[in-house]
Each structure stands twice: as C-alpha cells, then as structure tokens.
Amino acid sequence: MSLTAGCRSNGGCALPSLSLSLCLSLHRPNVCVDQELSMLGLRQPCVQAFTRMVRVWKQGCSGKSWCAGYERRTGYYTAYRQVYSMDLHTVYRCCPGWMRRGQEKGCLHNVNECVNANGGCEDSCCNTIGSFYCRCPEGSSLALDGKTCQDVDECEELNGGCQQKCVNTPGSYYCECSEGFRMHADSRTCIAAISCAVKNGGCEHKCVDQGNDHFKCVCPPDYLLKDDGKHCELRDPCKQGNGGCSQLCSSEEGQVECSCRDGFTLASDRRRCEDIDECARGQAQCSHSCVNMLGSFRCVCKPGFELGADGKQCYRIEMEIVNSCEKNNGGCSHHCEHTTSGPHCTCNQGYQLAEDLRTCVDSDECENRESCCSHYCENYAGGYECNCRAGYILNPDGCGCDDIDECELETSDCSHSCVNTLGSFECFCRLGFRLDYDQRTCLSLYESDLEEMASEDDDEVEEEDGRGGDEEVLRLPGFVFRRKPQLLHYAATLHRPSTHTRAIADTHTHRSHRGELTLLSKTVCEEGAFGEDCSLGCEDCANGAVCSEDRDSCRCTPGWTGIICNDTCVTGSFGEGCNGLCVCQNGGRCDPVTGSCLCPPGVTGQHCQNGCPQGYFGLNCQRKCNCPNNGHCHRLYGGCVCAPGLYGRFCHLPCPRWTSGAGCSEECVCQQNSSLGCHPKTGICSCKPGYHGDRCQSSKLSTVSEVFTMRTEINNS
C-alpha cells in the first residue's frame, strides 16, 4: 500500500498510526515538500507443479479383465514469495529550523539548534529565525565546515600594520621593534632609540648623553670614530698631515714610519726626504758627464757624441744626424729629447704623458689620493693646493690643518667670556646676563634704564675723580651707581674681565678703565620703595617672591616675572627669570616652573614627540580627521588609511565585487560562475546554492536526501 494513502487531500490525518508529518498542509507556514524513497515488501502468489504415482484400476490386463496398476499424475499448488520494490512518493515535512506541536497543520515554532550540543559550534552558536550560525572570537575565523574556528594570522596581511616585526599569537598578534628601536605609542611604529640608556646607544666604547634625546659616541685616545658614528678604529696617523712625513707614510699599531720615493733617502729626523746625488756617489755610471736632478739624474755626452738607448753610453756621431726635436718640438707638449729611436717626450712636474707618449695631461693628485692634504684638496694644472675647513688654518708644511684660537686672537666678538673649541668657539656670559641670538652679545637680565655705555674717556674719568668723595653708592650685579646728594646724576661703571682689560689694569688704576653712562632727571625712590612712581614695596611681591637685599626690587620664583612677579612666563619660556626655552611638540604645553611638557590626550613622550591623538593631525594636532568606518589618518598630512575591505577618499566604500583586503588590492579566487563574490575584508568566497569548497568549485549531490526511509510490510503465511 502507498504511505500517502493515509493523508487526505486537505492534509488531515486519515490513520492515527501514521506519522504526524502526514498531517501537514502544504500551504501552511514553513512546510516543505520532499521526495521520499521507500522500500515496499509484498507477497506474490505463484503456481507450482509436482508429479506423483497414483494407483488405478485398468482393463486389458493379461488373463484378467481388470487389474491394478500405477500411473504418473501431475499436481498443482499455489505458493507465495516476498517481493520488494522501491517507491518514490511526496511527503510534507517541517522546513529546516522549524517544528510543529501537536496536531498543527503548519510548522510554527522556531528550533533553537544551539540548545543541543551548542549546535556543533566550537565557540559561539547564534540562533536565528529558522536557522543558526557559528561565530568565532576576535582573531579567529570560521573554517570551511562552518563550525570549527581557526586562528587568523594577522601578520600575513600587510605585516599586521607593523613597521618592522609582526608576531602572531593565538587569537591576536603584536608588533616588535628591531634592536636600537623602541615602540611608538601606536604599538606599530618603531622609533630610533636615541639614548645611551638603550644598549649604550649602540656605541662600541663610551656613550655621552647630550640632552634633547641626542647622544654621541666617544672613542678612547689614539682611536677614531668610524663613519657609522658608533664604532672605533685605531687612528691612522698618516691620514693627518701625512704623519709628518714629507713623502711616503705607513703606520703599524699607531706608530708612524716614513719612507721615500726612488731617488731620495730618509733624513736624520726620520721625517724629511733628501735627494740622492747619484752623480756624486758614482751610481749613475754615465760614460761622459752626469747631471743630478731632483730624485733622479741624467747622462750628457760630449759634443760629437750621442747618448745610446740605455741612457748612459755615448757613441761617436759618424754621420749627419737630424735632430728629431727641432721641428715642432718633436710633437711633445713639454720637453723633447732626441734619441736614436726618435723624439722622447717628458712632462713637467704635476703632469703625465698620455697614451700617445707626446701629449702632457694634468695629473689630478686629489682624485688619485696622492696629495698630503688633511681637509680639502684643490687640483690645478700642474699641481694641487691644500685648503682647510672653517675655523682652521693651513700648517706651514702646506698639508696639515691647525685649529684657530679665535679667543686668543680676539676675533670672537664675545661680550664677556670666550672658550675655544676645535674649529670654532663659544661665548659665555657672567651671572645676571644672557646670550643674545647672535651667540656673542650678552644682555642684562635686570630692568634698567641704561641704554648706552659711554666711551672710556680718561679725561672724563679724571674730572669725575675730582668731584669729591661725598657720594652715595648703589650696587647691582655687574654695575656700580654713584649719586651726588644734591643732583639727580648717576655714573655707571661696568667692569669687563677681558684679556685686553686685564693687560691695561697692570699699568693703570682700576677706576680709570670703567665704562660710564650719565643719566639726567632720574627719579630716586625712598628706601624700601620702587616702581615707576615709587608706589611699590616689598609687601607687594607676589607668588612667593622675596625682596632683594637692598629692598628695591622683587626676586621672582621660577615661572614668574614682572616688577612684582605677578606675570607668568610667556609661552615658550619657563624657569627662573623665564630664561628656559620650551621644546614641547604636537601641541604640548610647557610647565612655567619646571619646563616639563604637558601633552594633549593621546600624545606621549618627554617632549610630546610621539604623534597626534587618534582622529587628529597637522601642526599642534589641531586639525580633525575625516575618516569614517574606523579609518585612521596620517598624523601629519591627514590622508585616510582605510581598514581592509574599504576604500575611497573617506574610507566610505566597500571593496568592489571580486576584490578584497587592504586597499582592495587582492583578487578573489572564487569561481565566478558558481559564486556570489567574496567577503571584502577576508576574501572568503560566498557560494551559490548547490556549490561548496573554498573556491566554490564543487557541486553537491543531486539526491535531495541521503537518508532512506525503509518501510517493509511482510505478510507471513
């Protein structure tokens, strides 16, 4: 019998014993049609034949009219056999993810697949209406089976955003910097570690911190810093002034050894080279005359004789000989010497013969490194000249460079003190003064009406000395004010401890060498009062300031300025007298007292040097980024750096179809005829119905259901 016979056309249950699925109605919600293949067992009758011997009576027997005999008879009977057949029929089932309750005609209730064994998901199971899906934690992705999770190697994609090293970890990753670098606040960028505290700054020997995140490597005596600025090598004394040698210099373990070219011998000082007179020593072996030359010699024949090819033997001239040098100097640029084989050309010092053995070309001693120059070498036709860098002067030997002591020569123009350095000098000021922007002039840190120093005039000084001794004296750092009681008249004396002043002081009185400035109509405050109108006193000093010893001014604490110390240091300065200069970057503010940098949110570093906070860029980090969808912008230029899967000026567009990844630079590997595209971020293919595989390259079996429902009805005889 057909299993569908139990269902009425309206989907009702005809037989209570049949499955409830037979009672579903096709047009009710979430009811799906399926084809079910069943195996049916039936009893099939068949007629079987058999034979047997039957005893019968028959006539015609011998001697008898009837006699008994046997005949073969055929019999028939009905037998049954079990026959099986496959039956394909239509059944109604609840669609996947739905269920029915009781005798409902439709499937109205969602199935929560996640309740049973977490839906088979390795991590999270997410139930949806009519279905479910598996989800993996951050740093992992769903495998092809849709249930298990596999780690995502973030380092494979643009090195994880790391500038140098990317280290993958289960579910995450982190960036590392190479030796000599430190990690930026963004945890991705590596910054050169410019400090002696980090592996001695990379210096082979001594590392010296110079402040402001700068340092320098220093080598021990007799060693020289290499070009890399970190390693040291034994100083080659021959490279500085040719080691004092006049010609050739070689060194071994820092010791100089001089030698000479052919034709010269080393002098007794083991430095200079003296010419060898081969003629006087008999080394020339000339057959006639010998002429000594610097570093060499030349043989000369008597009239009527000619020098042979060996340059030493002289041969009598037996025939008229044409001098090959008479016409056009034998083709030689400089000197021509007639020989039996023709003209022989030679060049002046600083020149050499070209390949044609006639032309003399300049020998570039600077390019060929044949010069003895310590600093710069300038080639010219026939020789070269050594020059020195600024702050140095050429040594009398014409090769080495000596430092110029600008302080001793009084060419530094320093107002107060001068300290010579190698190749330069530095100016310093006395207490109460600061160095001006020209790095030479010293400016007073105290408020004063002294605007111009008078010239040192001995006559005026003598006249001033004769005014008498009844005067009041007012002392300030570096100045002495003298006042006559009956006049508003001041004379200011400024002592300058320069070399020139000290020399004069040995022969004249101290008072006769002062700078004087006379101020007329100067208001003089009573003792304990100060200010323009003498209305201020020590009790007006603010912000922790104390009065000066003479009670005529306020002495401000660090971070404050003004006549009563009620003004903070101007922006960019800090400390006592507001003389410190701020070095804060990226919008950082300077503490007026200590000078420490107060960085804006998201900016770090001693000087706020570690970039702008996320979402801002530009000078002082004042411009706001315009990059949505978690896009980052360059902290200097503001250009958007899009996350993988996005592109466009403002990272507002998903990657075009068949592309994915950072900058949409990766092509999808999906087969386009069997896929819908790939994920714009991960590149995972999305297959069309009926296809699967990492590239959607495989099709599913056409069989709707792989489970056969075996229904067998056996009728036993």
Out of 106-110, 225-229, 352-356, 519-523, which region has the weakest mean confidence (pLDDT)? 519-523
Kindly indicate the confidence band of residue 273, based on its pLDDT and cuts at 50, 70 and 90.
very high
pLDDT at 467 over 70: no
* Co-location of 96 and 178 in the same domain: no
Q: Where are the beta strands (DSSP E) in 260-413?
A: 264-266, 273-275, 289-293, 296-300, 305-307, 314-316, 335-339, 342-346, 351-353, 360-362, 376-380, 383-387, 392-394, 401-403
Out of 136-140, 489-493, 657-661, which region has the weakest mean confidence (pLDDT)? 489-493
Query: Does residue 139 contact residue 682 with C-beta atoms inside 8 Å?
Result: no
Q: Which pair of structure tokens corresponds to residue 135?
A: 């989800």
pLDDT of residue 121: 92
Backbone angles phi, psi at 6, to 5 degrees: -80, -5
Ranges 4-8, 213-217, 460-464, most confident: 213-217
CATH classification of the domain holding 659: 2.170.300.10
Using DSSP's 3-state secondary structure scheme, residue 461 falls into helix
Query: Does residue 363 contact residue 351 with C-beta atoms inside 8 Å?
Result: yes
Q: Is 563 a domain residue?
A: no
What is the pTM (predicted TM-score) of this model? 0.24
Q: Is 695 a domain residue?
A: yes
Calpha distance 147→133 (Å, rounded): 8
Calpha distance 373→394 (Å, rounded): 10
Helix (H) / strand (E) element for 573: namely: strand 573-574
Number of compact structural domains in the chain: 4
pLDDT of residue 125: 93
Q: How many residues does the chain have?
A: 717
Cβ neighbours for 645, distance < 8 A, ≥ 6 positions apart: 654, 655, 660, 661, 664, 679, 680, 681, 682
Q: Is 539 a domain residue?
A: no
pLDDT at 312 over 60: yes
pLDDT at 482 over 50: no
The percent of residues above 90 in pLDDT, for the chain, comes to: 12
CA dihedral over 496, 499, 504, 506, signed as positive or negative:
positive
Tell me the pLDDT tens digit for each residue of 439-460: 889 988 764 434 443 333 334 4
Calpha distance 436→445 (Å, rounded): 11
* Co-location of 83 and 183 in the same domain: no
Which residues face 225 on adjacent strands? 232
- Comparing C-alpha atoms, which of 43, 44, 66 is closest to residue 55? 66
Q: Is 222 a domain residue?
A: yes
* Co-location of 189 and 206 in the same domain: no
pLDDT of residue 506: 38
Q: What is the mean pLDDT of residues 591-616?
A: 77
pLDDT of residue 345: 93
* Co-location of 45 and 96 in the same domain: yes
Eight-class DSSP state of 488: -
Q: Is 76 a domain residue?
A: yes
Calpha distance 532→563 (Å, rounded): 10
Q: Is 599 a domain residue?
A: no
* Co-location of 189 and 212 in the same domain: no
* Co-location of 102 and 8 in the same domain: yes
**Domain residue limits at 673:** 642-699
Q: What is the mean pLDDT of residues 362-376?
A: 83
Q: What is the mean pLDDT of residues 138-160?
A: 88
CATH classification of the domain holding 189: 2.10.25.10
pLDDT of residue 712: 30
- pLDDT top residue among 481 and 164: 164
Query: Does residue 578 contact residue 567 with C-beta atoms inside 8 Å?
Result: no
3-state secondary structure labels for all residues of 101-141: CCCCCCCCEECCHHHCHHHHCCCEEEEECCEEEEECCCCEE
pLDDT at 475 over 80: no
Q: Which pair of structure tokens corresponds to residue 100?
A: 């029915």
Query: Does residue 676 contact residue 668 with C-beta atoms inside 8 Å?
Result: no
pLDDT of residue 366: 87
pLDDT at 426 over 70: yes
pLDDT at 138 over 90: no
pLDDT of residue 552: 85
Q: Is 374 a domain residue?
A: no
Calpha distance 206→667 (Å, rounded): 54
pLDDT of residue 6: 32
Calpha distance 597→584 (Å, rounded): 6
- Comparing C-alpha atoms, which of 648, 622, 645 is closest to residue 635? 622
Angle formed at CA 58 by CA 55 and CA 60, multiple of 5 degrees: 145
* Co-location of 30 and 75 in the same domain: yes
Tell me the pLDDT tens digit for each residue of 667-699: 899 988 889 889 988 899 999 888 888 899 887
pLDDT of residue 193: 66
The percent of residues above 70 in pLDDT, for the chain, comes to: 78
* Co-location of 31 and 107 in the same domain: yes
Tell me the pLDDT tens digit for each residue of 34-46: 888 888 888 889 8
Mean pLDDT over all residues of the chain? Answer: 77
* Co-location of 18 and 106 in the same domain: yes
- Comparing C-alpha atoms, which of 220, 241, 349, 364 is closest to residue 296? 349
- Comparing C-alpha atoms, which of 96, 130, 35 is closest to residue 704? 35
Kindly indicate the confidence band of residue 556, based on its pLDDT and cuts at 50, 70 and 90.
very high
Kindly indicate the confidence band of residue 212, based on its pLDDT and cuts at 50, 70 and 90.
low
Within 13 Å and on the Cβ side, how many CA atoms surround 694? Answer: 6
Strands 646-647 and 653-654: antiparallel
Kindly indicate the confidence band of residue 579, based on its pLDDT and cuts at 50, 70 and 90.
confident
Angle formed at CA 49 by CA 44 and CA 50, multiple of 5 degrees: 135
Out of 195-199, 396-400, 483-487, 559-563, which region has the weakest mean confidence (pLDDT)? 483-487
pLDDT of residue 299: 93
Q: Is 533 a domain residue?
A: no
* Co-location of 181 and 226 in the same domain: no
- Tokens 């009844």 sit on residue: 470
